[in-house]
């Protein structure tokens, strides 16, 4: 939006009638006495040109001229103030429009793009291979846990570079939420994108994701002591993160201990909700996202991912990664 044009300001010459400026100044004669220097210059406003008036009419015309000039100066000043206000208002509106456009670019763009559909996980028959992290002795879990087709997960893993064990967790979480909350629409590629940004899908700094769904060593975020990061006082007495003073994010999906306490899930059916186990973490993340927005709409997707991490750059990064995975597997 451009600033209001000031080219239509009334020219000063248009405000003044054609006038004999010599006559307006008065038709007096120059003083007969010499003016020797600045010390002899006229002092008062009535002596501006050192004129002597020949008649009362000349003096009246000069006074009328001064009054007209004073009125014109006042009008010009009012016009300048009005134009200045219009310029200021126009500039403010322009800046607001720019700001709104920037917010729209950040908020709506990635969310709309991420609606590119990724291939749906293929659920295998109950008698097919059990998830590597699933406890074989838990009959109830075996009958209720979704099992994604291993051929599908291997194909997705090969094309995306995501560890196969992580693909299993993300796909199972999608299938689980499709049954629990069909209106949500959370997808495996969004979960995988979050896992990628948070912990490189449980491989951060050389960590190894095991067949059990756990990692060879715990993944912990930085100490949240306010030193270059947010400050979060301890909420778990160091139970999960080993720090009784400050909190640290936990596991492959990087839950804060207090958030994990609220959203803890048992994704592999072993009877334990563990933030360091990727099935548990992926299911908890899926439920958290679904509680924050309908993932099948642009605004819902945006709201849900932004709720996971209050950062526009984070949303952009997750959106780009999720789109990449969708394109690589389509």
Nearest to 276 by CA among 229, 242, 308: 242
Residue 124 backbone phi and psi in degrees, to 5: -85, 170
- Could you tell me if residue 71 is inside a domain? yes
Considering the domain architecture, whether residues 83 and 146 belong to the same structural domain is answered as no
pLDDT at residue 24 greater than cutoff 70: no
Considering the domain architecture, whether residues 162 and 104 belong to the same structural domain is answered as no
Considering the domain architecture, whether residues 192 and 88 belong to the same structural domain is answered as no
Range in 19-23, 66-70, 216-220 with the lowest mean pLDDT: 19-23
Considering the domain architecture, whether residues 247 and 107 belong to the same structural domain is answered as no
pLDDT at residue 115 greater than cutoff 80: no
Nearest to 176 by CA among 301, 329, 256, 280: 280
Distance CA 266, CA 272 (A): 6
Considering the domain architecture, whether residues 242 and 151 belong to the same structural domain is answered as yes
- Could you tell me if residue 196 is inside a domain? yes
Taking only the tens place, the pLDDT of each residue in 278-314 is 999 999 999 999 999 889 888 999 999 999 999 999 9
Could you tell me the residue range of the domain that residue 274 belongs to? 139-329
- Could you tell me if residue 268 is inside a domain? yes
Considering the domain architecture, whether residues 159 and 89 belong to the same structural domain is answered as no
User: How many CB atoms are located within 10 Å of the residue 86 CB?
Assistant: 14
Distance CA 248, CA 234 (A): 8
Taking only the tens place, the pLDDT of each residue in 27-56 is 333 333 443 444 443 444 444 444 454 566
Q: How confident is the model at residue 121 (pLDDT cuts 50, 70, 90)?
A: confident
Considering the domain architecture, whether residues 187 and 100 belong to the same structural domain is answered as no
Considering the domain architecture, whether residues 228 and 295 belong to the same structural domain is answered as yes
Total tally of structural domains belonging to the chain: 2
- Could you tell me if residue 118 is inside a domain? no
- Could you tell me if residue 285 is inside a domain? yes
Considering the domain architecture, whether residues 82 and 147 belong to the same structural domain is answered as no
Identify the pLDDT of residue 54.
55
- Could you tell me if residue 39 is inside a domain? no
User: How many CB atoms are located within 10 Å of the residue 235 CB?
Assistant: 17
Q: Are 26 and 61 in contact (CB under 8 A)?
A: yes
Considering the domain architecture, whether residues 225 and 79 belong to the same structural domain is answered as no
Identify the pLDDT of residue 208.
97
Considering the domain architecture, whether residues 220 and 93 belong to the same structural domain is answered as no
């Amino acid at each position: 939006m451009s600033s209001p044009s000031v080219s239509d300001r009334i020219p000063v010459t248009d405000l003044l009638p054609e006038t004999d400026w010599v006559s307006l100044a008065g038709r007096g004669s120059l003083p007969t006495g010499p003016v020797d220097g600045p010390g002899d210059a006229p002092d008062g406003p009535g002596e501006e040109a050192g004129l002597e008036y020949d008649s009362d009419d000349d003096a009246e015309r000069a006074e009328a001229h001064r009054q007209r000039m004073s009125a014109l100066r006042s009008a010009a000043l009012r016009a300048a103030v009005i134009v200045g206000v219009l310029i200021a208002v126009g500039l403010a509106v322009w800046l607001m429009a720019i700001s709104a456009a920037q917010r729209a670019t950040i908020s709506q763009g990635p969310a709309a793009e991420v609606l590119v559909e990724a291939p749906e996980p293929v659920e295998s028959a109950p008698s097919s291979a059990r998830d590597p992290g699933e406890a074989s002795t838990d009959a109830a879990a075996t009958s209720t846990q979704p099992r994604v087709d291993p051929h599908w997960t291997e194909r997705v893993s090969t094309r995306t570079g995501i560890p196969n064990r992580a693909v299993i967790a993300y796909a199972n979480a999608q299938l689980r939420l499709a049954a629990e909350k069909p209106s949500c629409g959370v997808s495996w590629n969004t979960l995988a994108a979050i896992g990628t940004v948070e912990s490189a899908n449980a491989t951060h700094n050389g960590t190894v994701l095991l067949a059990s769904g756990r990692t060879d060593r715990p993944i912990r975020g930085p100490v949240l002591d306010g030193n270059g990061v947010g400050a979060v006082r301890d909420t778990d007495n160091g139970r999960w993160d080993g720090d009784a003073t400050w909190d640290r994010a936990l596991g492959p999906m990087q839950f804060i201990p207090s958030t994990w306490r609220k959203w803890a899930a048992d994704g592999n059916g072993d009877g334990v909700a563990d933030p360091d186990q990727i099935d548990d973490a992926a299911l908890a993340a899926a439920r958290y996202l679904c509680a924050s927005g309908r993932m099948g709409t642009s605004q819902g997707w945006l709201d849900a991912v932004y709720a996971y991490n209050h950062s526009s750059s984070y949303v952009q990064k997750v959106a780009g990664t999720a789109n990449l995975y969708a394109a690589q597997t389509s």
